[in-house]
Copies of this chain bind each other. A is one copy, B any other.
Amino acid sequence: MAGQSETAPRNRQWLLARRPVGMVSESDFELAEQPVPGIGPGEVLGRVRYVSFEPAMRGWMDDRESYVAPVELGAPMRAPGLAEVVASNDPAYAVGDLVFGMLSWSEYVTGHWSSEVAGRGYRQVPGDVPVEMLLGPLGSTGMTAYVGMLDIGRPQPGQTVVVSGAAGATGSVAAQIARIKGCRVVGIAGGAEKCRWLLDEARLDEVIDYKNSDVRSRLREACPDGVDVYFENVGGTTLEAVLDNLAIGARIALCGLISGYNDAQASPGPRNLFQLIVRRASIRGLLLWDFLDRVPEAGADLRRWVEAGEIAYRVDMQEGFENIPRTFLRLFSGANEGKQLLRL
């Protein structure tokens, strides 16, 4: 391969070694090494440059029905990321192209990128956008925040919007879009440092530090007229507290339920779903897939807002292939500050 050393390069991969019971751990993955595969007709070989981490990947490790098939035991862990084309039998991809798509925790990946998901998942990256921005607020988390807040939340100027996981990759963008749309925005996040960032950099109106305060009573103080829009990343007692503080006609965009992703036994849901009737509120489950027609507009708006400084973002960039599993675990301890990425 052009640009590689003359000795046959090796491909290291992190395989799913076992299905986690409860909290995911590094020992659920296993390092493997094999030659870099050759490519057949129509295939592309990419060298992975960045991997991106999302809480939802925890669900892909479980053997149960979900919106994607589970990762198979012994297979490399599936992950979105950015690869550089190093060999190609597909005229749509040239050596040197940077491509974003669903890759894996591998140093090299191959695939029929033009035909998989009709090529939709594998697209060349524009050369004029920094990787941190591209995989951060302009990536799938930012797009998800955009459609979840605008198409499901439908915030009106002056309304009260609450976002949980507000310092995370998706939540921080969702919260700032609501601010841009003229809403009063309250973020829920864990720890003084994240809360400070939300106030000073993301310029939210109020923050609730769930690690150091009572979310239910703080919500009541911070949202005296109730919550019109709730962008939910967390679930559990946070969801229950918000349900008790809804305004009439509230909309809840259900993006994630991270508080339960590592439960060995599924935890009970909120005891107060009746509040949906009292407040005539709605909850709608959110996946970006249902809003692909909105992606061009979302990308243009997000880029404009980020470049104008209207949307602040942080990337937590870790380094080194060997650190991939422990970087993934940062999402569940809340150690990550902003979008979790890793550079190979």
Q: Which of A's residues lie within 8 Å of B, judged by CB?
A: 59, 65-67, 235, 239, 249, 254-257, 260, 266-287, 289-290
Contacts and interface: CB of A to CB of B under 8 A. Distances in A.
18 contacts: A239-B273, A254-B277, A257-B273, A257-B274, A257-B277, A266-B271, A268-B268, A268-B271, A269-B269, A269-B272, A273-B283, A277-B286, A277-B287, A279-B285, A280-B287, A280-B290, A281-B285, A282-B283
Given A235-B273, A257-B277, 9 more contacts: A65-B278, A254-B276, A267-B271, A277-B287, A280-B284, A280-B285, A280-B289, A280-B290, A283-B283
A266 B272 contact: yes
Nearest to A275: B285
A278 B66 contact: yes
Interface centre among A273, A286, A287 (most CB of B within 10 A): A273
A279 to B, nearest CB: 6
Nearest to A68: B278
Contacts of A287: 277, 280
Copies of this chain, how many?
A: 2
A220 to B, nearest CB: 12
Nearest to A269: B269
Contacts of A59: 274
Nearest to A286: B277
A298 to B, nearest CB: 17
Given A268-B268, A268-B269, A269-B269, A260 B286 contact: no
Contacts of A67: 277-278, 280
Nearest to A235: B273
B284 A281 contact: yes
A260 B271 CA distance: 9
Given A268-B269, A270-B269, A285 B277 contact: yes
A186 to B, nearest CB: 20
Nearest to A261: B274
A281 B287 CA distance: 10
A67 B274 CA distance: 11
A68 to B, nearest CB: 9
